[in-house]
Structure 1
Amino acid sequence: MIDADHTPWPDVAAAHRRGAGLAVLPVGAHEQHGPHLPLGTDTATAVEVARRLAERLDAVLLPPVHYGATWGTSGWPGTLSLSAATVTAIVVDLGRALAASGAGGLVVVNGDWGNRAPLLVAAQQLMEEGVLPVVTLDHPGMAEAIDEVRESAPAAPGLAHAEEVETSIMLRLAPDDVHPDRYEACYPVFPSHFGTAPMPLHPFSPSGVFGDPALATAEKGERLLAATVEGCLAVLDDFVAGVLAGRAEAR
C-alpha cells in the first residue's frame, strides 16, 4: 500500500503502473453524531476501511473527502453538507485526474448513506465516458455483522446512527474522541413513510442519537470493521480481475 498523502509523486506513479493500479478513495461526511461522537465519525470509518483495503490490494490510498451529501442531518449545528451534484462532481473530477495519472481503477469507499446516490451517478458517468473502471462500496458485510454483535434494539430497521454500532466503531478507532458520560438513548416515533422519502431528521431526535450507545464496545467495533473489509474484498474480486484483464489487453 502507498498512502498518497505522504508519498512523492514518482512512487505513486509507479504504484499506478503496478498490477491493477487501483486507487482507493474514502468519501465521508461532516455531520452530527449525537453529543458523544465527533462530527468526523463517518469519515473516520471510511478511512479505516479504505486503508485496510489498500493494504490488502496493494493499492494507492487517497486522502479522504471529508464532506458529503448530508442534508438529512443539516438541522443540527456542526453538520456541513454538500449538494448531491457536488459530491458527484468531486468524484468525477478525481476519477479523470486518476486516469490521467495512469491509475487502472478507482475503488470508492462510502462512509455515509446520503452519498450513495451521487456516488453511483459519478461511477456511471466515469464508466460511460470510458475514463476508468469504478466501483462504489457501501459497507458490504456490515449489516450481517451488525446482526451478530448488536445487543440494543435499532431505532428503525437498517438505521444505525450515533448508537451502539457507530459508537463501537469509534471506540475502536478513536476512543479519546468518544464521551461516554454523554451517552443517551433515543427511540423516536417515525412516520410510516420513513426511509422512502427525504425528510430532515432533527425533529425526531433533539440529541441526534437514534438508538442506544450504552452497550458499545471497541471489540464490537473491530468485528464490524473486519467484517466490512472482508465483505468489500468479496465484492471486489471480479472487479479487480476485470481491471487486470483490461490492462493486459491494452499492453
Structure 2
Amino acid sequence: MTLLRLAEASWTDVRDHVASGGTLAFLPFGALEQHGPHLPLSTDTLQCTAVAERLAEHYSALLLPPVSYGSTWDNAAFPGTVSLKPSTVSALCADIAQAVWSFGVTTLVIVNGDYGNRAPVHAAAAALAADGDVLVLDYPGLVEVGDAVKESPWAAPGLCHADELETSMVLALEPRLAAGALRSGLPRAARRLRHAADPLRHPLAERGVRRPARLDGGEGRDDHLVRGRSGDRGDRLSPRPGVSEPAGESPVCFSPRSGASRCPGRGRSGGGARGRATAPR
C-alpha cells in the first residue's frame, strides 16, 4: 500500500485503499496571508502541505488537498490576505472530518499551518470527539529545531513569520516563489512594515530576515525541519490508544469518550483508531 492523493484518485481507488487498511488521512490546513515582500501569500499552505505529504508517504495514508484559506485576522489589513471567520474554519474541519469518516477513514490528522487557525481547529476537533479521532499537529518540536539553527530572533517568542526559518523553508520547497525582494533591500521594507502586527504586539516583519545572503534554503532542506521533527516519534500516529497535546507544543487528538489530553513523556505527536482513546493536540 502506498500514499494515495485524494484529488488525483478515482472513487474506486479510494474504496480499495480504505478496504486494504488505509484508514489514516492527512489534511493540510493553511492560510492565504502576507509574509513580507519576499515570500508568497501561500507560505503557510506550502509548509503544512509538505509536512502532511511526508507523513502520508511514511504511513501510506490518504492525503487530502490542502485548505488554502484560514483565520488570518492578524494580517487582514494587507492586500492579498484572505481571512476566514473562526467559525468558518471550525465548520470546514467538521464537514471534512464527517465526509472522510463516511467512506471509511478512522483517524483524520489536521496539519495546521497558521497561528490563527489554532483555536478554531482545536474547537472543531473537540466537538467531533464523540464521533471519531481527530489529531491536530501544530509543528511539534519547531521551537527546539529553530533554536538550534536560527541566527536571527524569532518574530515573537516561539513564533516564526516571514523570518529566517520560514524564508529558508520556502526556498527549499519552492525557490522560485522566494526570489524578488529577497535580494533587494529587505531592511527598508522591514521599516515600512514595522507596525504590521499590532494584535501580536510585535513588529513581525521588522524581525524577519536580517541576512538574506545566508538564506539559501539549507535550513529548510534539513529533513528534521520540513518533517516537523517527527521522525523518531511518528509511530504514535499508528492507530492505537495514546495521548497528545494542543496549541503549539505537542499534538492533540480528540477521541470518542476520551476527550483531549497531552502526550506523556516526550509526546510530540499522537493518534489512535476511531473509537479508542488517543492524543489530541
Task: Judge same fold: TM > 0.5, yes or no.
Answer: yes
Partner of 1:25: 27
Task: Give the structure 2 partner of residue 216 of structure 1.
Answer: 215
Look up the match of 1:126.
128
Question: Which range moves more in the overlay, 94-103 or 181-190?
Answer: 181-190
Shift of 1:189: 8.2
1:220-251 CA-partner distances (Å, limit 9, x unpaired): 0122654644427726606632345859xxxx
Q: 1:114 aligns with which of 113, 116, 133?
A: 116
What CA distance in whole angstroms lies between the structure 1 residues aligned with 2:142 and 2:113?
Answer: 12
State how far apart, in whole Å, the 2-side matches of 1:158 and 1:15 are. Answer: 38
Q: 2:139 — aligned with what?
A: 139
The alpha-carbon deviation at position 199 of structure 1 amounts to 1.5
Q: 2:45 corresponds to which residue?
A: 43
Alignment match, 2:77: 75
Q: Give CA deviations for 1:190-214 in whole Å, capped at 9, x if unaligned.
A: 9xxx9xxx8277x946xx4532252
Distance 1:240 1:230 in 2: 20
Question: 1:40/1:199 Cα in 2 relative to 1: closer, same or farther (>3 Å)?
Answer: same
> Matched residues in 2 for 1:154 and 1:79: separation?
22
**1:20–1:183 distance in 2 versus 1, CA, 3 Å:** farther
Give 1:223's aligned amino acid: D
Measure, in 2, the Cα distance between the counterparts of 1:233 and 1:2: 23
* Aligned mate of 1:181, from 180, 183, 194: 183
**1:105 lines up with 2:107 in the alignment:** yes
Question: Higher mean Cα deviation, 33-42 or 10-19?
Answer: 10-19
Comparing 170-179 with 220-229, greater Cα deviation is found at 220-229
SS of corresponding position for 1:95: helix
Q: Paired residue for 1:55?
A: 57
Q: Which has the higher contact order (CA 8 A, sep 6+)?
A: 1
Shift of 1:126: 1.1
Output the CA distance in 2 between the equivalents of 1:239 and 1:98.
17
- Within 1, Cα distance between the matches of 2:231 and 2:91? 24
Aligned residues: 236
For residues 107 and 35 of structure 1, what CA distance do their matches in structure 2 show?
32
CA RMSD of aligned residues (A): 2.7
Hey, what does 2:266 align to over in structure 1? none
Aligned in 2, Cα 1:136/1:159: closer, same or farther, shift over 3 Å?
Answer: same
Unaligned runs of 5+ in 2: 242-271, 277-281
1:12 to 11, 14, 21: 14
Distance 2:209 2:135 in 1: 33
Match of 2:258?
A: none
What secondary structure, in the 3-state scheme, does the structure 2 residue paired with 1:240 have? Answer: coil
CA 1:86–1:110 in structure 2 vs 1: closer, same or farther (change >3 Å)? same
Q: Is contact 2:133-2:274 (8 Å) kept?
A: no
- Cα distance, 1:184 vs structure 2: 1.5
Tell me the SS of whatever aligns to 1:50.
Answer: helix
Counterpart CA distance in 2 for 1:91 and 1:245 is 16
Partner-residue secondary structure (3-state), 1:75: coil
Q: What is the percentage of aligned positions where both structures have the same residue?
A: 39
Shift of 1:163: 1.2
Letter of the 1:12 counterpart: V
What SS class does the counterpart of residue 26 from structure 2 fall into? strand
Runs of 4+ with deviation above 6 angstroms: 187-190
Determine the C-alpha separation between the residues in 1 that align with 2:60 and 2:232. 12
Residues in 1 aligned to 2:224 and 2:66: alpha-carbon distance in whole angstroms? 17
Q: Structure 1 or 2: larger helix share?
A: 1
Which aligned pairs between 1:167-206 and structure 2 lie closer than 5 A? 167-179=167-179, 180-182=182-184, 184-185=186-187, 186=190, 199=199, 204=203
Structure 1 portions without partners, runs of 5+: none
